[in-house]
Structure 1
Amino acid sequence: MDISDLRTEYTLEGLRREQLAPDPFQQFELWFQQACASDLPEPNAMNLATVSITGMPSQRIVLLKYFDRQGLVFFTNYKSRKAQEIKANPQVSLLFFWVALERQVQISGKAVKISTAESLNYFATRPRGSQLGAWCSQQSSVISSRQMLEIKFDEIKRKFRERKIPLPSAWGGYRVVPQSFEFWQGRPNRLHDRFLYSYIDAESTWKIQRLAP
């Protein structure tokens, strides 16, 4: 199978320094709002990269559930592979790819657990089926069959029949506290526009630099 000719020429628009907000959170919010307004499928889907204690990287798609100036929040099982890797090395990377807008945003930072109260507030908003799923799945563990998973789901469903479903002790959120943002806009001839925001701790400010494509 020859895929050497699979390519797309990015021609929608460019990105100039003077267009950028001085604060990367403002710039991210603008681009995120535009992604949502464009009716993209799951604009909050982001690739989360972690590294194991042995240095082996792994990636998976998770969903951004909310963000503010403190960071970007996603939820998971605290016994999952990603959680164990975050425990060993909290430095992570997030990547949003909005292909219809010819844009990427890469965010690097430290993942920290949010409070139980904050996790509970979000858990209460989940559909009941998703709440049950959080109880029945020991995420990343080996299971013998799909049937066993469904049996476990039915057991949990009966257990909490006509009851409010409590927050599982092994389930909750992480907040990624950014140390850098990179905004990428596709351009013709692979001469893409890339701007890096780096946090300067000593000055409590963000430095903006253009990167070569």
Structure 2
Amino acid sequence: MLMSKKLLLLLQLCNSSLPLGAYSYSEGLETLVEDQHLTDDKSLKNWLLNELKYGSIRIESAIVVRAYQCYLIRDLNGLLYWNNWFTASRETAELRQQSWQMGKSLLKLISSFDSEDEFLQEVINSLKLSGNYSIAFGIITAHWNIKIEDVLLGYLHNWISNLVNVGIKLIPLGQTQGQKLLLSLNEEISKQFESILSLKDEELSSCSWGLSLASIKHEQLYTRLFRS
């Protein structure tokens, strides 16, 4: 029963109905579609595979792990350090604002989930102005004592599911194509989550200049469905 309850809590966090605004961001995909770099399910899959292998999502997921570990040992200074570190790693103002906005929304939700835990409230108060989403996700999953392996798989699947939905709307793809694409990426998610779990602090790096350029250009598009 306990495992089922924790799984349900994780599914709630990863549900698209959670009011965080994730659905309103394309993370550069809208620019790439406009420039015709992404034109079908194959090109979208290639982009997502490269992001999983080399992109900033690896760093973002690794920060979830560090936030999780810091919270378990009640290390507030460690949480603040990794939050600042991750903020500094965001290459564009657009990516930074996305992380802060989603982090602020999740921290607000967390506060309403459990208002009696003193350390949790201290953490939320310390991060409420500029807490990153990855930090907030690590905090709440550690607070609920969900297995870190499940946490990381849920985080990666949630990220990739959101971007597949972006591709369905923009390219456009059919719903069936989108689900097939999502299914085909499961193996790579499984590979990368094991690699991310073992990353040492000095190995936190990524090659994400393509995402950075797409993000910078996004706010200048003539028409947009998604936020910068």
Q: Same fold (TM over 0.5)?
A: no
- The alignment's TM-score, normalised by the length of structure 2, stands at 0.23
Which one has a bigger Cα radius of gyration?
Answer: 1
| Structure 1 or 2: more helix by fraction | 2
